[in-house]
Amino acid sequence: MKFQNKKIAFYTATDKNTGSTRIRVYDIADELIKRGYNVSINENLKEADIIVFQKSIYNCLKKKFFRFMRSDKFIVFDIDDLYTDKHLYLIFNSDFVITSCQYMKEQYLKYNNNIGVLGCTPDVIDEDMPLGQYNLSNPKIGWFGTLTNYEILKSKNINGVTAITKGGDIEWSLDTVDKNIQKFDLIVLPQLKNPAGLAKDNCRMLKTLYLGIPALVSDIPEYVRLAEFLDYPKDFIVKDNEDWNEKIEKIKSGEIKFDFDFVECRKKIKETYGREAIVNQWINIVSNAYKSGNIVRHIIKLIRFYFAKRVKKIFKN
C-alpha cells in the first residue's frame, strides 16, 4: 500500500490556540487532507496505520500512548520543547520522533536513534497580507509569546516594551496577533542560553520577519541559523553578554544600520518554511521512517519492552 493511502491520526491534548499544536498538528493535517490523505485529529486512532502524538501534558497523553504503543501501529512522537523525565519514556517507546531543531535531536538520540527534524511555518493567518511598515529612529517596541517566555522578557529589563500575551498589555488572540505585531517598529525576542533556550525553534523570529517587522533576537542556535539563511543583519542578534537597552539606543541613533530586503525575505521563507514546503518535509521524513522501520520495528519494540522496566525508574513513570 502506498504511503498516501495510509490512515494517519494526530493526537493532541490542546487546540489551535496553542502555537505548537496549531503549527505541528492542524496546519499539517489540513494540508495533508487537501492532498488527498486520510487524516484525522483526536479520532479514528483504532483504524489508523500511523498515530502522531504531539507533545503536551504527559498525563493527557499516556493513556492513549500506552494503549497503542504495543500494537502494530507506527507511533510517532512530535516534540518541540526540551522536556525531561516522563516525556523521555514516550520518546524511548516511539517508532519515530520528530523534533523542531537539531539541538533537541542531539539531546534525544541517546533515547531513540530514529529522529527527524521538522521546522515550523511562519504561522500567519493570511500569507499574502501586506508587509508591515516601521520606523527605527523612534520605534514602538513590542514582544509576543507565552507566559513562560514573558518571564524571560521581564528578566532582561528592556525599556518600553509592550507585550502581546495572555493577560499582557495587549491580549493575545489568534485573530489579531498578526496585525498587532505589525503595529510595532521593532520586536524583541530574548531567550536564555540554558538547555531550554537552546532548544527553542525559530517560529517567533520567522513570524516577525514574514510580517515585515525587524526583530532583535538572542543568539540561540535556531535564531542564528535563520539569520544566516536569510542574510539578516548580524547587529540585530544580541549576544548573551550584551545589553539590550544599549543595542536599542544604537539602533535608534542610527549607529546600527538596518539594511534588509523584506520582499526577498518573504519569498525565501515561503519556499523553505511555507506550509506546502513544511508538509513536503513532513511527508518525506515520516514516509521514509515508516518504510525503513516497517519490517524491523516489531523486533525493536520487543527489545524496548524488555528494557522498559529497567528504564522506568529513570523516566519516573
The list of the chain residues with pLDDT below 50 reads: 309-317
What count of Cα atoms within 13 Å lies in the side-chain half-sphere of residue 154? 9
Q: How far apart are CA 31 and CA 265, in angstroms?
A: 23
Q: How far apart are CA 53 and CA 9, in angstroms?
A: 9
pLDDT in tens, 258-309: 999 999 999 999 999 999 999 999 999 999 999 876 555 555 555 655 555 4
**Contact criterion met (CB below 8 Å) for 134 and 114:** no
* Phi/psi-derived region of residue 159, left when phi > 0, alpha when psi is between -120 and 50, beta in every other case: beta
So what's the pLDDT on residue 316? 47
So what's the pLDDT on residue 317? 46
So what's the pLDDT on residue 2? 83
Buried b (16+ CB within 10 A) or exposed e, 139-153: bebbbbbeeebbebb
Q: How far apart are CA 31 and CA 64, in angstroms?
A: 25
pLDDT in tens, 26-42: 999 999 999 999 999 99
CA distances from 130 to 62, 126, 182, 266 (A): 43, 9, 10, 11
Q: How far apart are CA 125 and CA 123, in angstroms?
A: 7
Q: How far apart are CA 54 and CA 35, in angstroms?
A: 21
So what's the pLDDT on residue 125? 92
Cell numbers for 108: 534525544
Cell numbers for 150: 514573558
Question: Could you tell me the strand order of the sheet in which 215-218 lies?
Answer: 170-171, 161-165, 141-144, 186-189, 215-218, 237-238
Query: DSSP string spanning 255-282?
Result: SS-----HHHHHHHHHHHHSHHHHHHHH
Q: How far apart are CA 112 and CA 175, in angstroms?
A: 38
